[in-house]
Amino acid sequence: MDQGTIYGDRSAPSDIDDDFVLTAASQLRRQTILLYSGFALSISGVIAIADPSSSAVFGLLVPLAILGSALAGLYILLRYRPDRMDPLAGRKFLGRITRLTITIVALGSLWCLESWFATPPEIRIYYPLMMALGGYATGYCLAPLRKTAIACVVIPFLPNALLLISSGRKMDVIAGCTMLLAGAFQLMLIANHSKMLREMLSHRSQARQLARVDSLTGLINRGAFLDEITERGAKAGMKRLLVIDIDNFKAINDTYGHDMGDQVLRQIGQILSRYATADICASRLGGEEFALFGPVDRIPEGIALKILSEIRNTAMAHKEQVTVSIGIAEGDVICEKSWRALYARADAELYAAKNAGRNQISSGAALAEANRTQTSTKNEIAA
């Protein structure tokens, strides 16, 4: 279903598309069950008291079509389970409800127009009033879908109001003008409801995003990182985890103050953010500890050397060199237990790198050659 059909305009933020679909579908289900029940009951009464002299089309076939559409809508609504619906299914649901409701409203408006001309003047006022009440109820129920709700107000209100005004009878004219004013008021309420719903979902999306981000570095925080591990780990293939810890960070805070320490954390966060992609997740786990996680083929072991070199050669805010130690582990992440095991191995390698003199990486024998290169580089710097 086209997104413009759902929102009624294309200005809605794309980051709330799925939330909007599921929220609108949940609201519509609660509200339109009663609406469609009302349609079914009222049109059943119309069929029961239909004038035998009325035409077969408008006296029986059109009401039966409305009744069938209402019953079909109830069937769809009762089958829909918001807690089991994904956004794609939600879009299909909204599309069906939109088409059925507009069909019911259009048929009902035609039926009222025909009844107006076929009914004695002293009682025909009831038909426009019935459509006005139906339009009010329908517009309210479908208010989350702005474009559809507007159509469900305009279709019954406008032609019936014009009929009343064109009759020339004073009370009919007053009733028609009142109907137009009421319709305009309803349209304003629909626009406000749609706007407030989008704003609410946008604020909720922003709050959810802020809850996932480390405010100091801009990387995702530990909780969001664990969520990413769960999602990415479910995909087949070996994963690699780099745990990165700033060497002697306490000394930076003690010597230069915590504000300077925060500046250093920001700079390292900026460096690591450049390695984050759709496949690689970068996070600040807490304190001076960071992490990279992703498929083995997307995080080659050479990345650890690049990170080590880039951080070491970056001019930091306190004008001193900063180094890090990196522990690397790899394995399948299919459950929380396997993640904990992977993190424990990477953490153990991190401490091995620390104990070996810091400013290096450790992942066991697999990176022995890389560590020898690092040791040689360190010796050159010292010389």
Residues that are catalytic: 288
Q: How far out from the chain centre does Cα 115 lie? A: 45
The length of the chain is 383
Pairing of strands 281-286, 289-295: antiparallel
Closest C-alpha to 109, from 162, 49, 145:
162
Beta partners for residue 329, in sequence order: 241
What distance lies between CA 307 and its chain's CA centroid?
Answer: 34
Helix (H) or strand (E) holding 326, with range, is: strand 324-331
Strands 324-331 and 289-295 come out as unpaired
Are 243 and 291 in contact by the 8 Å Cβ rule? The answer is: yes
How far apart, in whole angstroms, are the C-alpha atoms of residue 355 and residue 117? Answer: 95
Q: Is the dihedral of CA 50, 56, 60, 63 positive or negative?
A: negative
Radius of gyration of the chain (CA): 33
Instruction: List beta partners, residue 326.
Output: 244, 361
Both tokens of 93, joined, read 């649901």
